[in-house]
Amino acid sequence: MGSKLRPRKKQKTGSKLTSQTTEPNSTGFASLPPELLFEIISYLPPRSPVPYHLPHDPTRGTNHSRQAIIRALVQLCRSFRRSLIHYLWEEIILCSFRDVRRNVTTDPNHTCAFERRGSCYTCERYLAFEIVAQLEVVTIRVPEYAAFVQVLSIFLPKYSEKTIVPEFARCLTLLPNLKTLQLFYNTYGDIVERTIADVFSQYRYENVQTLAIPGKAGSKTVLKACPNVRHVHFASYGMFFRGPDAFPDVEKLTGVLPHLYDLRIQDSMPNLKYVQVRTQKPLFARLAYARIQELAQLPQLEVIEIALMKPEAIKEARELYEAALSLLSRLPKVSGISRRVDVCDYTAQS
């Protein structure tokens, strides 16, 4: 058998390989001026507005297609990679239930408690590893990418929370341009919440200006760790977010608001200028009306937003609009302040 084998070809060591010099590419996309590259970039799908208005999945629709297109363009050539790499890393999304389910199982009918904010070992394990992998890229492998990150949306799982949460909190200090932090976690248990309260009390994130958090006691620690935050968004309802800690720099409050007397709103956020009041179901219209009346404690208030979350609540939205107008008309007049009521339709995101 050995005699029938073909002799192995001798590899060229060669001078040709070592002597050749690679010339820079000056044709095709590489020859386009920056103005044309920016024109091409302008046709990318826009990002979904942040904070996300849950239960809207942040990667359903524009965000998911935008990231997929940018990822493909970055791999196209060096010129596109150089021009688009910061767009790829300006937003890190680690809270998409759809992406988790798609990577964990091929069963199209698979549903788990994790998607309903419950607990699923398989899905949470995958998400924990994905969190570590993404943060490793921007903080260890290519630390230059850390300066690109402006928006970070993350769901902290219960899987290995004693390791994941401290490492996540530490990595946030390495993102110098982080402006928006959206932090979600399972609010039906206190395991992750206790860890968050213990860990985030050790850090300060001076650059964060927009913060989305659940309305739970552990989230107060995160809010205190972001002293310069201007916009607070409650991603879920909670009865345990109590005052009277002062957050005088907060000017905008949106999301699923707790009772404002729980926040001791006049003491904790005395400089609020913009408050969102949601109407989802007729059953909660009275609760929303009560929150509007509580806004009389805010002398600096300029805008009340009536957020329509469900189509069947249009009648209640009209009533809340009239109540908000009446409230603003009763507030003492302040020179330089023009007050108004906005009505925003979020039914397409529900």
Residue 327: pLDDT above 60?
yes
Residue 58: pLDDT above 50?
no
- Give the chain's mean pLDDT: 78
Please tell me the predicted confidence (pLDDT) of residue 62: 59
- 209 vs 270, residue with greater confidence: 209
Yes or no: say if 123 and 107 are a contact pair by the CB < 8 Å rule.
Answer: no
Q: What is the mean predicted confidence (pLDDT) over 7-25?
A: 51
Please tell me the predicted confidence (pLDDT) of residue 325: 92
Q: What is the 3-state secondary structure (H, E, C) of the chain?
A: CHHHCCCCCCCCCCHHHHHCCCCCCCCHHHHCCHHHHHHHHCCCCCCCCCCCCCCCCCCCCHHHHHHHHHHHHHCCCHHHHHHHHHHHHCEEEECCHHHHHHHHCCCCCCCCHHHHCCCCHHHHHHHHHHHHHHHHHHHHHCHHHHHHCCEEEEEECCCCHHHHHHHHHHHHCCCCCCCEEEEEECCCCCHHHHHHHHHHCCCCCCCCCEEEEECCHHHHHHHHCCCCCCEEEEEECCCCCCCCCCCCCCCEEEECCCCHHHHCHHHHCCCCCEEEEEECCHHHHHHHHHHHHHHHHCCCCCEEEEEECCHHHHHHHHHHHHHHHHHHHHCCCCCCCCCEEEEEECHHHC
Q: What is the mean predicted confidence (pLDDT) over 318-330?
A: 90
pLDDT digits (tens, 9 = 90+) for 295-307: 888 888 999 999 8
- Number of other residues whose CB lies within 10 A of the CB of residue 14: 9
If you search the block for the tokens 């890229």, which residue do you land on?
Answer: 137
- 129 vs 54, residue with greater confidence: 129
Structure tokens at 156: 């902290």
pLDDT digits (tens, 9 = 90+) for 226-248: 999 999 998 876 655 666 677 88
Please tell me the predicted confidence (pLDDT) of residue 305: 93
pLDDT digits (tens, 9 = 90+) for 102-157: 666 656 665 554 555 556 777 788 888 889 999 999 999 999 999 999 999 888 88
**Percentage of the chain exceeding pLDDT 70:** 72
- 116 vs 206, residue with greater confidence: 206
Task: Please tell us whether the domain made up of 52-58+89-238 is placed in CATH 3.40.1130.
Answer: no
Chain center to CA of 252: 16
pLDDT band at 20 (very low <50, low <70, confident <90, very high): low
Q: What is the mean predicted confidence (pLDDT) over 83-89?
A: 87
- 211 vs 240, residue with greater confidence: 211
Yes or no: say if 275 and 305 are a contact pair by the CB < 8 Å rule.
Answer: yes
Q: Which of 71-80, 91-100, 259-268 tops mean pLDDT?
A: 71-80
User: What's the longest Cα–Cα distance across the chain?
Assistant: 102
pLDDT band at 59 (very low <50, low <70, confident <90, very high): very low
pLDDT digits (tens, 9 = 90+) for 26-52: 666 667 777 887 787 788 777 767 766
**Lateral strand order in the sheet of 231-236:** 91-94, 151-156, 180-185, 210-214, 231-236, 252-255, 274-279, 303-308, 340-345
pLDDT digits (tens, 9 = 90+) for 167-196: 999 999 999 999 999 988 876 556 788 889
Please tell me the predicted confidence (pLDDT) of residue 103: 63
Please tell me the predicted confidence (pLDDT) of residue 5: 42
* pTM, to two decimals: 0.82
Domain spans, the chain: 52-58+89-238, 242-330+337-350
